[in-house]
């Protein structure tokens, strides 16, 4: 799972703006599910769960059917924000979750 924080510029309602752009097909590669709290890309595996807060959109990117492919959705989202909405986004913070360590093998006694 990858966590992402999108910080908007002061006075901009980025969450509402992005939802409106997706619904009006201005952003055709993304679609909304679950009342606009879940974002899906047409080609990249997985989904992104949005949670808006004061000036920040907290996102969790998960790919349960294809683990390890979250980076594809991450690159699509960041690329689209950088290309189309640089005047609305102030910063993007990415937190990566480390995979669990492999279990240690026990040695048998003879």
Name the residue among 71, 17, 21 with its Cα closest to residue 48: 71
Q: Which CATH fold topology does 2-96 show?
A: TATA-Binding Protein (3.30.310)
What confidence score (pLDDT) does residue 68 get? Answer: 80
Q: Is the pLDDT of residue 93 over 90?
A: yes
- Where do the structural domains in the chain lie, given as residue ranges? 2-96
pTM recorded for the entire structure = 0.79
| Dist. CA 62–CA 64, nearest whole Å | 6
The owner of tokens 């699509």 is 76
HSE value, Cβ hemisphere, 13 Å, CA-based, for 43 = 7
- Mean pLDDT across 76-87: 91
Structure tokens at 37: 């709290």
HSE value, Cβ hemisphere, 13 Å, CA-based, for 99 = 6
pLDDT band at 3 (very low <50, low <70, confident <90, very high): very high
What confidence score (pLDDT) does residue 59 get? Answer: 92
- Mean pLDDT across 16-37: 87
Q: Is the pLDDT of residue 99 over 80?
A: no
């Amino acid at each position: 799972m990858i966590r992402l924080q999108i910080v908007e510029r002061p006075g901009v309602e980025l969450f509402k703006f992005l939802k409106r752009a997706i619904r009006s097909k201005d952003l055709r590669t993304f679609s909304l599910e679950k009342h606009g709290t879940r974002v899906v890309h047409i080609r990249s595996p997985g989904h992104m769960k949005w949670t808006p807060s004061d000036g920040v959109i907290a996102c969790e990117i998960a790919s349960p059917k294809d683990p390890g492919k979250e980076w594809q959705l991450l690159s699509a989202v960041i690329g689209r924000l950088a290309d189309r909405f640089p005047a609305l986004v102030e910063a993007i913070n990415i937190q990566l979750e480390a995979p669990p360590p492999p279990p240690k093998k026990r040695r048998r006694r003879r």
